[in-house]
């Protein structure tokens, strides 16, 4: 072996040895770092995940009759992307106090996804949280795609202070009480699934807006063995000069709603939403159903979903879990406007096969069947040809590989 070759080999062995010492390498080649001790004695935990996706969307999108409406997407093609790469850092200040900070990287941007402090008081079974995170009633989904009402109401991050207390009433019975004080998230838009063509109205990630308002919420839950039932209510006011002027005021026909009732005003800043959820997780069985109703200004929205899955354990992989979900999202008082997808009523059926190979690697295969009430009609041209001015072609296929470390 030449001297250069020896130095290269020695250098690589040295690097690998040091990486092994701090737990960076696993059998998959991804990090499994447990903890680092700082000079001050604080314990720092590092982790994260990387999601790589293949996405394909049915059809060209838009409508056949381009003379009467717009064609939002002329051509679609399959594509691959890094959906997200998350680096998470947790600092343990004590046994009951820690701070979590997550950086999220995509193909084109990076941002602070979540950051919050959690303080637990074991004596009264209460946990406080302060920072940026999803609302306290959000659930950890199993699929990559959210339910429609999940995207609309509890996907977006908010700045909040929350408390969650657990009261034990017996060996298998528990009551949960939650309280929340948050900066209200602005009304915005997001994708119904993986396609970005026809966006829906949502409570978006928090952003600093003029006329910022607050939101107050509470939740109550009961857990008996594997059965959980919970309900919640949030209220506040729309953000001045943004929610009702920009997001709602620009909706086609929103002023007509105000004019339809003498007691209604276009600048109404009413804001509330409530919901309930029932879930069963027992053994390999998972069942969940959820309903949400909301009012923003003069625009009511409501929807629900129900899902079920069964986890199969196999010899060479950790488990495989087929899942089926049906959900919808409806907008009342406002008829669907062909040119504005935010006003459409929607349905989505999700078929998923979730394969967890081990603790660090999983593969998700998902197909979304979407149906929208667009407000359009099927018409006939001068030659007698039928023109579908009502149906959007946007069923979607997703294949995702997820690495966790």
pLDDT for position 16: 37
Closest among 270, 241, 230 to 135, alpha carbons compared: 230
Contact (Cβ atoms closer than 8 angstroms) between residue 44 and residue 68: no
Task: Note the pLDDT of residue 148.
Answer: 97
pLDDT at site 245:
77
CB 82 within 8 A of CB 109: no
Contact 34, 44 (CB under 8 A): no
Q: Which residues of the chain have pLDDT under 70?
A: 1-34, 63-75
Instruction: Say if residue 105 is exposed, middle or buried (CB neighbours under 10 Å; 0-12, 13-18, 19+).
Output: middle
What pLDDT is attached to residue 65?
A: 57
Cβ atoms 105, 121 nearer than 8 A: no
318, 356 in Cβ contact below 8 A? yes
CA neighbor of 190 nearest in space, from 335, 50, 329: 329
The residues, ordered by sequence, that sit 6+ positions from 290 with a Cβ below 8 Å of its Cβ are 147, 149, 275, 276, 277, 278, 304, 305, 306
Residues paired with residue 100 on neighbouring β-strands, in sequence order:
90, 116
**pLDDT value for 70:** 53
Compute CA distances 272 → 146, 169, 251, whole Å: 22, 31, 20
Helix (H) or strand (E) holding 115: strand 110-121
One DSSP character per residue, 247-277 reads IITTSTTHHHHHHT-TT--TT--EEEEEEEE
> Residue 55: what pLDDT?
94
Rounded to an integer, what distance in angstroms lies between the CA atom of residue 375 and that of residue 251? 14
Task: Report the run of H or E that residue 218 belongs to, with start and end.
Answer: strand 214-224
Alpha-carbon distance 210 to 213, whole Å?
A: 9
Nearest to 271 by CA among 247, 305, 303: 247
Tell me, what's the pLDDT at 226? Answer: 87
Exposure b/e, 120-134, CB count within 10 A at least 16 = b: beeeeeebbbbbbbb
Other C-beta atoms within 10 Å of 220: how many?
A: 14
Q: How many angstroms separate the Cα of 262 from the Cα of each of 252, 258, 298?
A: 20, 8, 13
């Amino acid at each position: 072996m030449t001297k250069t070759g020896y130095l290269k080999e020695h250098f690589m062995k040295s690097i690998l040895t040091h990486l092994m010492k701090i737990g960076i390498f696993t059998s998959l080649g991804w990090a499994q770092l447990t903890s680092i001790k700082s000079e001050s004695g604080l314990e720092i935990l590092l982790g994260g995940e990387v999601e790589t996706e293949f996405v394909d969307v049915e059809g060209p999108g838009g409508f056949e009759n381009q003379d009467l409406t717009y064609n939002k997407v002329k051509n679609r093609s399959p594509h691959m992307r890094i959906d997200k790469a998350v680096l998470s850092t947790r600092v343990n200040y004590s046994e009951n106090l820690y701070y979590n900070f997550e950086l999220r990287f995509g193909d084109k941007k990076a941002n602070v996804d979540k950051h919050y402090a959690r303080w637990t008081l074991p004596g009264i079974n209460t946990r406080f949280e302060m920072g940026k995170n999803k609302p306290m009633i959000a659930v950890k989904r199993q699929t990559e795609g959210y339910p429609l009402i999940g995207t609309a109401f509890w996907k977006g991050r908010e700045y909040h202070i929350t408390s969650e207390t657990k009261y034990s009433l017996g060996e298998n019975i528990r009551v949960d009480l939650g309280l929340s004080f948050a900066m209200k998230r602005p009304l915005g838009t997001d994708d119904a699934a993986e396609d970005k063509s026809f966006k829906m109205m949502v409570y978006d990630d928090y952003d600093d807006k003029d006329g910022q308002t607050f939101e107050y919420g509470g939740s109550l839950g009961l857990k008996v063995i594997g059965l959980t039932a919970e309900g919640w209510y949030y209220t506040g006011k729309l953000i001045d000069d943004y929610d009702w002027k920009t997001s709602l005021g620009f909706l086609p026909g929103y002023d007509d709603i105000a004019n339809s009732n003498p007691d209604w005003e276009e600048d109404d800043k009413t804001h509330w939403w409530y919901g309930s959820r029932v879930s069963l997780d027992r053994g390999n069985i998972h069942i969940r159903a959820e309903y949400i109703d909301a009012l923003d200004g003069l625009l009511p929205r409501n929807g629900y979903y129900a899902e079920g899955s069964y986890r199969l354990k196999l010899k060479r992989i950790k488990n495989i879990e087929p899942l089926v979900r049906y959900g919808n999202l409806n907008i009342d008082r406002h008829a669907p406007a062909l040119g504005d997808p935010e006003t459409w009523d929607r349905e989505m059926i999700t078929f998923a096969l979730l394969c967890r190979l081990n603790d660090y690697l999983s593969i998700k295969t998902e197909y979304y069947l979407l149906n929208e009430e667009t407000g359009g009609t099927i018409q006939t041209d001068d030659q007698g040809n039928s023109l579908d001015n009502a149906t959007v072609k946007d069923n979607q296929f997703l294949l995702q590989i997820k690495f966790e470390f």
